[in-house]
Amino acid sequence: DGGITQSPKYLFRKEGQNVTLSCEQNLNHDAMYWYRQDPGQGLRLIYYSQIVNDFQKGDIAEGYSVSREKKESFPLTVTSAQKNPTAFYLCASSRPRAGDTEAFFGQGTRLTVV
C-alpha cells in the first residue's frame, strides 16, 4: 500500500543530543514537508522540499536541519540548538501540480527530550 512512514512513533532523547526523525514515502510525490505540532498552536512549518537536493526553510526552521538526497526520503534532524524540541512532528508529501496539492500525512513522531 502507498503511504508515508514515520519512525519511530515515540522517541526519547537527552537534552543536548541531536536526533534524526525518519520520513519515507512511496507515493512518488515530489514535495515533502515537516511540521511541528504543539498543543493549541496547530501545525507550524519547519522545512519543505519541492525536488531532490533542494529544500526551503519554513516558519520555524531554527534548530532543525533536513536533507533530500532521494525523492522518497526527507529526514529531519533536531539539533541541540533547538531550545524546546519536545513536540509532535508530522511529515507530509504532495504532488504539487495545479489543482492537485493536498498533502498526505504520516502518523507522526512524538519526541520527548528529558
Identity of the residue, 52 or 80, whose beta carbon is nearer to another protein in the bound complex: 52
Where do we find the cell 510525490?
Answer: 29
Which residues on neighbouring strands pair with residue 36, listed in sequence order? 44, 89
Half-sphere exposure of 37 (CA within 13 A, CB side): 13
CB of 16: closest distance to another protein in angstroms?
Answer: 27
Which residues on neighbouring strands pair with residue 44, listed in sequence order? 36
Rounded CA gap, 58 and 45, in Å? Answer: 5
CB of 41: closest distance to another protein in angstroms?
Answer: 6
Contact track, another protein, 10-49, x by CB under 8 A = ---------------------x-x-x----xxxxxx--xx
Q: Which DSSP letter does residue 102 get?
A: -
Footprint on this chain of another protein (rule: CB under 8 A) = 31, 33, 35, 40-45, 48-51, 54-56, 58-59, 88, 90, 92, 94, 96, 99, 101-108
